[in-house]
Amino acid sequence: MYIFEGFDIKETIALDGMITKLLKCKHETFELILCCGEFDGIKICSKGSLIHEIKTNHPVDVISVGDIDQDGKEEIIIGSKQNQHLSIYKLSFKLTDWI
């Protein structure tokens, strides 16, 4: 994955498998890129690195972010057509531990 700023390549991130959807969101003070595609789960990237993966049993087709429980913090919502499953994950980890 290449990240462009203006007309220059700012960062590159090597991920296994084809990416079909990207979603940008913010957690704490960090910008995150959520990726899904031809792999089982989603990959979470920040500052040019893969920082976390959420594993599933099937490729993820739908990915969104929203404050589902209205606690002021966003959750990741993922869905799969293959098993007709919807999951919600809290962004409860501390990114400063990984970055």
Look at residue 93 and tell me whether its pLDDT is greater than 60: no
| Distance separating alpha carbons of residues 75 and 15, to the nearest angstrom | 23
3-state secondary structure of 67: coil
With respect to residue 99, please indicate whether it lies within any of the assigned structural domains: no
Amino acid letter, 28 = E
Q: Which two tokens stand for residue 67?
A: 């404050």
Look at residue 99 and tell me whether its pLDDT is greater than 50: no
Q: pLDDT digit string (tens) for 47-62?
A: 888 888 889 888 898 8
User: For the chain, what is the domain count?
Assistant: 1
With respect to residue 10, please indicate whether it lies within any of the assigned structural domains: yes
With respect to residue 73, please indicate whether it lies within any of the assigned structural domains: yes
| Distance separating alpha carbons of residues 46 and 57, to the nearest angstrom | 24
**Which pTM was predicted?**
0.75
Task: Average the pLDDT over 79-89 and give the result.
Answer: 78
Q: pLDDT digit string (tens) for 6-59?
A: 777 766 777 888 888 988 887 777 788 899 998 999 999 888 888 888 898 888
Residue 36: strand pairing partners: 21, 42
Task: Mention every residue, 6+ apart, whose C-beta is less than 8 A from residue 87.
Answer: 56, 77, 78, 79
Question: Residue 98's pLDDT is what?
Answer: 47
Q: Please give the residue range of the domain that contains residue 45.
A: 2-94
With respect to residue 61, please indicate whether it lies within any of the assigned structural domains: yes
Cα→Cα distances 20→7, 28, 43, 59, Å? 23, 26, 12, 10
